[in-house]
Amino acid sequence: MVDNSIPSTSRQQKTGPPNYYIFSPIRSNESDIDDSDEDPNFRLVQNSKTPSIVVPRIASLTRSSTSSSSSSSSSSSSSTSNISSDTEDDSEQADPQNGMVAENNSQNPEVEKKSRRRQQLFDAFWGLGNLERQREFVVRHSQPIKPKYRYSSTQDFRALNTAFYFEVNGCKIRVCKPFFKSTLDLSYKAIKTALKKQTESGVIQADLRGKHANHPTIDPQIKKSVIDFINCIPRIESHYLRAQTSREFISCDKSLADIYRDYKRFRERDELPVATSSTFNRIFNTEFNISFFVPKKDQCDLCERYKNSDEEEKRKLSQEYEEHLKEKTLARTEKENDKNRTDGTIIAVYDLQAVLQVPKGQISLFFYKSRINCFNFTVSDLKATDVVCYFWDETEGKRGAVEIGSCILDYIKSQVDHTPNKEIDVIFYSDNCGGQQKNKFLLSVYAYAVNKLRVKSITHKFLIRGHSQNEGDNVHSVIEKQIKRYLQSGPIYIPEQYKTLIGTAKKTGKPYKVIEMTHNKFYDVKALQESWGTNFNIDEEKNQIKWHDIKVLRVEKKHLEAFFYKTSFTEETFKKACVRKSRVLRARGTGSTIDQSLFSIGLTQAYTDKIALSEA
What 3-state DSSP class applies to 238?
Answer: coil
Residue from 41, 1, 4, 35 nearest 23 by CA: 41
Q: Are the beta carbons of 463 and 298 closer than 8 angstroms?
A: no
Residues 6+ apart with CB under 8 A from 46: 24, 52, 85, 86
What are the beta bridge partners of residue 565?
A: 553, 575
Secondary structure string (H, E, C) spanning 355-410: CEEECECCCHHHHCCCCEEEEEEEEEECCCCCEEEEEEECCCCCCCHHHHHHHHHH
Q: Are the beta carbons of 354 and 239 closer than 8 angstroms?
A: yes
Q: Are the beta carbons of 405 and 430 closer than 8 angstroms?
A: no
DSSP state of 206: P
Residue from 436, 419, 437 nearest 428 by CA: 437
Phi-psi label, residue 466: left if phi above 0, alpha if psi -120 to 50, beta otherwise: left
* Per-residue pLDDT tens over the stretch 334-385: 999 999 999 999 999 999 998 999 998 877 777 778 889 999 999 999 988 8
Between CA 265 and CA 274 the distance in angstroms is 9
Q: Are the beta carbons of 99 and 208 closer than 8 angstroms?
A: no
Chunked mean pLDDT (size 10), the chain, 616 residues = 38 38 41 42 40 43 42 39 36 40 59 85 90 90 84 69 88 91 91 86 78 74 93 72 64 83 91 92 90 63 85 90 93 94 94 91 78 94 92 94 96 93 94 88 95 96 89 92 91 94 92 96 92 92 94 95 95 94 53 60 90 84
| Residue 89, φ and ψ in degrees, nearest 5 | -85, 150
Residue from 253, 248, 136, 195 nearest 487 by CA: 253
What are the beta bridge partners of residue 586?
A: 593
Q: Are the beta carbons of 412 and 449 closer than 8 angstroms?
A: yes
What's residue 255's pLDDT? 84
Using CB atoms within 10 Å of the CB of residue 243, give its burial: 0 to 12 exposed, 13 to 18 middle, 19+ buried: exposed
Residue from 254, 239, 460 nearest 360 by CA: 254
Between CA 530 and CA 457 the distance in angstroms is 21
With residue 134 as reference, give the H or E element that holds it: helix 131-140
What's residue 390's pLDDT? 97
Between CA 502 and CA 517 the distance in angstroms is 14
Residue from 339, 361, 364, 341 nearest 349 by CA: 339
Between CA 90 and CA 99 the distance in angstroms is 16
* Torsion 227-232-233-236 (CA) sign: positive
